[in-house]
Amino acid sequence: MKLISNWRATLGKSWSVWLILASLVLLGGYFLALVQPGMLGWDPLYFAMASATCQVLAIPARLVLQSGLSSLAAFRRDTGGAIRRRTVGLIAGSGIAMSTAIGFIGQWEGLRTEAYRDVVGVWTVCYGETKGVQPGDSYSKAECDAMLAREILAYEAALDRCLTQSVPVGMKIALVSWTYNVGAGAACKSTLVRRANAGDLTGACNELPRWNRAGGRIIPGLSNRRGAERAMCHQALKEAA
């Protein structure tokens, strides 16, 4: 544990600290929280009033400008300690969203728990993982899911560097699935991201089916994947509305 640099000043000058101490001395706040009114022989109404008083005594301290703060407006503008949207992505910040992303992306990537050579001879395992894969490597589904989760976080972070518009979680999962498939470089240069950043989220969703080619040819599997991503994208916008 490391104390903040100005802990002495905070402890000695904070109104909230002094009011909390006062509540302990005058009303025994923590003591009241541990007992029942019958144990003290108090009327339940008076007991409730005393307990409530102990809890709210520190509230006025939160509403008064304390020493060293120039103005309340300056306090509100200061976001130095805030967790920004780009620091923790929508998928990264939610276990439910991550589980949904793993299930959605995983079904298109396909799961192989034993290492195998792909069509160009690269050793591959799990959901298309190639980094450090050796012949004979074997993983459980849980381990493969963990690998995919790390990749999803990486692709979400890469997409967030160019996707500046806030989008619903379901749309984000669809766009990360698309980015995972086409690459962050292509995604960030796309009309889809430009539309999204301009606020045309519906138009961005409708760009997904255009990404269904490989080697200049339409690939049925890619068409199916883009259709599912667009459907998830539109459903997210509908639910958000």
Catalytic site residues? 109, 118
Over the chain, what HEC string results?
Answer: CCCCCCHHHHHHHCHHHHHHHHHHHHHCHHHHHHCCHHHHCCCHHHHHHHHHHHHHCCHHHHHCCCCCCCCHHHHHHCCCCCCCCCCCCCCCCCHHHHHHHHHHHHHHHCCEEEEEECCCCCEEEECCECCCCCCCCECCHHHHHHHHHHHHHHHHHHHHCCCCCCCCHHHHHHHHHHHHHHCHHHHHCCHHHHHHHCCCHHHHHHHHHHCCEECCEECHHHHHHHHHHHHHHHHHHHHHC
Task: Measure the CA dihedral 31/37/42/48, to 10°.
Answer: 80
